[in-house]
Amino acid sequence: MQTKRLDTSPAAIALAATLIRRGELVAFPTETVYGLGGHALDEQAVQAIFTAKGRPAGDPLIVHLADRRDLPHVAASIPPLAAQLAATFWPGPLTLIVPRHPQVPLAVTAGRETVAVRVPAHPVAQALLQAAEVPVAAPSANRFGHTSPTTADHVLADLNGRIAAVIDGGPTPIGIESTVLDCTTTPPTLLRPGGVSLETLTALIGPIEVHRSFKTDTDETQGLVSPGLLERHYAPDHELWLFSGRPEVARAHLRAEAEQALAGGMRIGLLLPEEDLALMRDLPAEVESLGPTADPEAMARRLYAALRALDERKPDRMFARDFDDTGLGRALRDRLRRAATRVIVIDGEERTA
Ligand code: TXA
Ligand code: MG
């Protein structure tokens, strides 16, 4: 199958909507990352999504709606908290877990009685969902476990020939995935930090439980965290070492390890904020800048593209520094830790690994 690259004209959107309604798969831009869309109420289309991605059937998909008023079509009931959050944050980068409506196939939810739903804000996603007139199941449009796509080229690099079409709407404006909040528990549970920060959500609805696997405070991860402890995901093909701790200290350790790798004849890659790179200009390395640390939105926008670009230059080892655990930093930290082959946490001045 040849994957068509579509533009964002009304005719192209209409074609993409027809393909979706027919059970074909179409990748499309959202404000977070590109999604791999299929008819959410068509079990075969849903199966095809899992096949195209190489995704294990146990990992459930997010259902995308054009409008929050469509929520009753996919939710059996709407917890008051979910209604409040939908009214505040939709359209936008927040995914809510609610009880599954019986017409949503269990294939979408991987057998769960809950379903993940969001209304994306991107104009192209909006146009496609409105034209399709059906709920669209869409995971990120990458091969399973690989780095999420923020451009149509990233989608094609992973899925060319495996899906009917991709709508090229340019780079995605947020660059990391939506926040996932389970509204069926009391208090609600943060399952994935993302585009809407935990602080913003807490300010509106009060206490939120943070799922164990997403706690990224240094207290919980003292010492060397073995790669197996944090599920590897969003992963590049080459080694990635992540240095966590106070910026000056983490930077110094990162530099020492980078010098040692160079001395051993390795080709190295640096995935770092502008300030860090300014201090490492003398190192012969492949570099990708995330921009200034003062601009976390820009760092989020660049993260996946920079990771892919560095990875493509096939360094023997890549080096990155951890983010702060506040605001968007929590989501950035989560993604980098899942991409890393090794996390080195430095406690104060002491090097613990
Ligand atoms: O920003 C996004 O959310 C992007 C764009 C395309 O909308 N989509 C995305 O989908 O990141 P995906 O499939 O890569 O991630 C969905 C996440 C997974 O971590 C999945 O386990 C979780 O949502 N999820 C989906 N349904 C769930 C459910 N019923 N209960 C718990 N977690 C669920
Ligand atoms: Mg994904």
- Reported as a single tens digit per residue, the pLDDT across 317-334 is 999 999 988 999 999 999
Q: What pLDDT score was predicted for residue 352?
A: 42
Taking Cα atoms as reference points, which of 110, 108, 105, 93 lies closest to residue 58?
Answer: 110
- Judged by its nearest atom, the ligand closest to the C-alpha of residue 211 is 1
Query: Which residues in 130-274 belong to E strands, given as ranges?
Result: 136-137, 165-167, 179-182, 189-192, 209-210, 224-225, 239-244, 268-272
Per-position DSSP letters for 148-162, written without gaps between them: PPSSHHHHHHHHTTT
Ligand number nearest CA of 37 is 1
Split at pLDDT 50, 70, 90, the class of 233 is confident
- Compute the average pLDDT of residues 192-202: 95
- What band does 57 get if pLDDT is binned at 50, 70 and 90? confident
- Cβ within 8 Å of residue 65, ≥6 positions away: 71, 73, 74, 117, 118, 119, 129, 135
Strands of the sheet containing 34-39, edge to edge, are 4-6, 165-167, 26-29, 34-39, 136-137, 62-64, 114-118, 94-99, 179-182, 189-192, 209-210
- For residues 347 and 312, the model is more confident at 312
Distance CA 266, CA 55 (A): 33
Closest-CA residue, ligand 1 atom 29, reads: 115
Q: Is 102 within 8 Å of 132 (Cβ atoms)?
A: no
- CATH 3.90.870.10 occupies which residues in the chain? 4-210
pLDDT tens digit sequence for 112-131: 999 999 999 999 999 999 99
Whether residue 35 has its Cβ less than 6 Å from ligand 1: yes
Burial of 80 (0-12, 13-18, 19+ CB in 10 A): exposed
pLDDT at 222 > cutoff 80: no
* Closest atom of ligand 1 to CA, residue 118: 7
How high does pLDDT run on average in the chain? 92
**What are the distances in angstroms from CA 173 to CA 39, 93, 298, 349?**
25, 11, 9, 37
Nearest to 140 by CA among 41, 3, 241, 235: 235
- pLDDT of residue 234 exceeding 90, the answer is no
**Model confidence at 229: pLDDT above 60:** no
Residue 217: the pLDDT is 46
Indicate whether 218 pLDDT > 70.
no
Q: Is the pLDDT of residue 348 over 90?
A: no
Strands 26-29 and 34-39 come out as antiparallel
CB of 315 closer than 6 A to ligand 1? no
In one-letter notation, the amino acid at residue 237 is D
Residue 231: the pLDDT is 61
350 pLDDT exceeds 50?
Answer: no
What per-residue confidence (pLDDT) applies to 214?
58
Q: Note whether 296 and 328 are within 8 A (CB).
A: yes
Q: Say how many Å lie between the CA of residue 293 and the centre of ligand 1.
A: 27
Q: Which of 15-19, 25-29, 56-60, 72-76 has the lowest mean pLDDT?
A: 56-60
What is the mean pLDDT of the segment spanning 189-206? Answer: 96
Distance of CA 237 to the CA centre of its chain: 17
3-7, 115-119, 241-245, 324-328: range with lowest mean pLDDT: 324-328
Give the distance (Å) from ligand 1 centre to CA of residue 142: 13
Q: Which residues surround ligand 2, an ion (CB under 5 A)?
A: 140
**For residues 276-286, average pLDDT:** 97
Q: What is the pLDDT of residue 72?
A: 98
- For residue 59 and ligand 1, the question of a CB distance below 6 A is answered with yes
Mean pLDDT of 13-31: 98
Ligand 1 within 6 A of CB of 331: no
At the topology level of CATH, where does 240-345 sit? Rossmann fold (3.40.50)
Instruction: Judge if the beta carbon of residue 192 lies within 6 A of ligand 1.
Output: yes
- Give the pLDDT of residue 81: 96
Instruction: Determine the pLDDT at residue 211.
Output: 86
pLDDT band for position 221 (cuts 50, 70, 90): very low
What average pLDDT does range 146-170 have in this prediction? 98
> CATH 3.40.50.11030 residue ranges in the chain?
240-345
CATH architecture of 4-210: Alpha-Beta Complex (3.90)
**How far is Cα 29 from Cα 33, in angstroms, rounded to an integer?**
6
Dihedrals phi, psi of 349, to nearest 5 degrees:
-85, -15
Instruction: Say what percent of the chain tops pLDDT 70.
Output: 93
- Beta strands at 342-347 and 26-29: parallel, antiparallel or unpaired: unpaired
